[in-house]
Structure formats: structure tokens, C-alpha cells
Structure 1
Amino acid sequence: MRYSSQVKPISYLKANAAEVLATLTEQREPLVITQNGEAKAVLQDVASFEATQEALALLKILALGNQDIAAGKVKPVSDVVARLRAKRDAT
């Protein structure tokens, strides 16, 4: 996605806030806000933000898992299943 088509100055945001929010929700594309010709912020709809946060959380979990593997902090799945079954049977 090219963000160059979704760039607006802050004055546009001030004058058209309701329209900008409706467009963000409808198109689900981020909007780059500029001030004095420089990119200063990115606006996006809530659903896209939440999806991004969930994706980042999953990536963090994967990175932590890879660190555990690299550090040798792993157990055979058969051991884990056996331990879970033992706990289940104990209750």
C-alpha cells in the first residue's frame, strides 16, 4: 500500500474531522497527517488498530518461543502430554 495517496495536512483534518473519520472507517486505510510539510502522525480506524495490535502480540509470542528454542528450553511433546494426562487423572 502506498501512503502517498493518503496524506493530508493538519488543517484538512481540523476542517473535515467527521469526513476523515467516516473515510477511515469505510476504507480501512491509514491517513498520514502532515504539519509544515512533514509527516507527524498516522490515523487509522479502530478495527485496523486492534488487528495490528493482535498481530504484534502474536509476533511477540513467536519471538519468545524462538528464544526458548534457541536457549534449549524445550521438552518433548510426549512428556508434556503425559504430565497433562496425569494432572487430569488426579482430579
Structure 2
Amino acid sequence: MKLSRQIKPISYLKAHAAEIVRNLSEQCEPLIITQNGEAKVVMQDIESYEQTQETMALLKILALGTRQVEEGKVQPAGDVVQRLRDRRKRR
């Protein structure tokens, strides 16, 4: 993916909105919109956006788990299973 081909000024967005939406859906590549020569907005198709959000959520879960391991906030799985079995027997 060459981002240099995916950079357009806001005037292009205004003049070609329908074409841009169609291309985003087909190409699944982000489009960078500039205003006064500065990058201001990134546009992408909904499927790519959802995939990005899911990836971010998984990375956050992974980071949380790593932090909990580093802080010693984990227990052996066997201990947890045994505690759950004991709790179930008491009911």
C-alpha cells in the first residue's frame, strides 16, 4: 500500500465523495484528507475500521494480561479450577 497515492485535498473529497466511498469499499485502503496542506482526516471502509477496532481490543487485553503477570496478579490454572470445584460442592 502506497500512502502517497492515497492523499487528497479536501476539495477533492467535496467534488468526488461518491467515487471516494466506492473506491474505499473496493480497495480497502485508507484515504488521507488534507486541509491547507496538512493531514487532517483518515477515511477507511467500515470493514477495515471494524477489523482495526477488534485488533486494538485484543492488543489491550494482551497488554492487560502481560501487566497482570508482571505484577504477580495471576494464579496457576489448576488452583483456580480446584477452587471453583470446591465452591460448587459447597452449594
> Following the alignment from structure 1 to structure 2, what is the Cα–Cα distance between the partners of residues 27 and 90?
58
- Unpaired segments ≥5 residues, structure 1: none
> Given the two structures, how large is their TM-score scaled by the length of structure 1?
0.89
> Following the alignment from structure 1 to structure 2, what is the Cα–Cα distance between the partners of residues 90 and 47?
48
What SS does the aligned partner of 1:39 have?
strand
- Unpaired segments ≥5 residues, structure 2: none
**Superposition pairs of residues 1-91 of structure 1, within 5 angstroms:** 1-86=1-86
> Following the alignment from structure 2 to structure 1, what is the Cα–Cα distance between the partners of residues 87 and 2?
53
How many pairs were matched up? 91
RMSD value over aligned CA atoms? 1.5
Q: Percent identity?
A: 62
Shift of 1:71: 0.4
> Following the alignment from structure 1 to structure 2, what is the Cα–Cα distance between the partners of residues 56 and 41?
19
> Given the two structures, how large is their TM-score scaled by the length of structure 2?
0.89
Deviates more, 1:77-86 or 1:46-55: 77-86
What SS does the aligned partner of 1:32 have?
strand
> Following the alignment from structure 2 to structure 1, what is the Cα–Cα distance between the partners of residues 90 and 56?
38
Shift of 1:8: 0.8
